[in-house]
Structure 1
């Protein structure tokens, strides 16, 4: 059998190589690792058979045999937000530097889908799991942390010493945001929350810290949701009170949508050179999270 005659769904095994070379599977294993005592002719026959069959080592089987995984998994809530793309690239680079392979999956922020996706991840027996923007409860995360080494991004988990967390200081970010807006002359503030299906657990804390910062600055803050669209949410905010309105978006993706709504367009590209810049507090960079 050659690589071209073998069904695409079948991968050559060491047993296939052994049969083609007329040797034992154990000798094939030694030859492919560059070891073992054998004649140069036998080694060459094994390597030629492996090349002819397009043999590639089964990393999963090797990890299972060694009982040591070199794979890290990350489950992101969605890919619409450019931050997650940057995060995945940074994580992949750091993982590779440490000798690991990164496996990325998307949950679309659906509780059932997130749960099944994590089950899929656990079946891979990864060395660790990274969860940015998860909708899981603290109890669920603690239970998960007992099954796999876990790192959670943008969440606080009190009394969970075994779970690594990476997050920003929400209170300080809120203070900087409110100070910036009030210094620009805005006398009323509105927090723009994402639609219900896109809400992350950290939303409540972020809104509350912005409320506290606004109260300390002596300005009011209302909250509107993008359930009916960003344009409708902004129109609702404009109906409350008078004076210049400062908008605090939950994330950059919502801020970009708000700019598009202000222009009367359907969408705005995050990389568009024509888009006016947004002001973002110093959130941790994706490379720092990695």
Structure 2
């Protein structure tokens, strides 16, 4: 009887499907070990090819709405409520993508120029032609993730405060969503300058590490204080242990191409890069005219 119950639980994913940790990456599913397009990766200018993309067209991210926040045992996850889901297209994306949820990693999963940031936000989207995220991950380019990096500031970030109050209250409670007391706007968690970003083809960073995910990691950051980061680090797993590490190790680039769109141009581009960018902009302008 025990064997039958175990087999049923295994087939439904209840034994190993949701039971994984960041300390046992070597035991993650097969694709996580053998895939050639895995995420996250180390992002540096030396590996990137400069490329000019059309600007992103983002709709609905500025809506103020209610939201549910939960500790899912691996991250702090936010889902918007009672609005039409925000969508994004342009920016080199092959379709229109709908926001599914937001979640955080402390410290950052991607590194940039050999620096690991204290926090990384993932805005996970699925292509609208698919019914949902679970269906979209089965298809190439079905999922697009916008990655936002946070750098340390001496002062608290005000936009974070309502979120952190709830996180602090549910840090020991896994899988029980709570309504945010204040309205939530996804736009507050995007860089004001979204023009600069790295782009590459990768995967989910959690089991089963599905590949075919379009990654956009913005080069411009948002602020967060050390005190605010510590609130994330106090979250607990299902086993009631501190979730002090919830980022996957860096993965091999293999033969993938990484693109870089530079912004702001004045402070972050060399003279050669500026010439290339200005040439690209002039060609784009002539086509539009």
Q: Same fold (TM over 0.5)?
A: no
Higher relative contact order, structure no. (Cα contacts within 8 Å, ≥ 6 residues apart): 2
Which one has a larger percent helix, Structure 1 or Structure 2? 1
TM-score, length basis structure 2: 0.21
TM-score, length basis structure 1: 0.21
Larger gyration radius, structure 1 or structure 2: 1
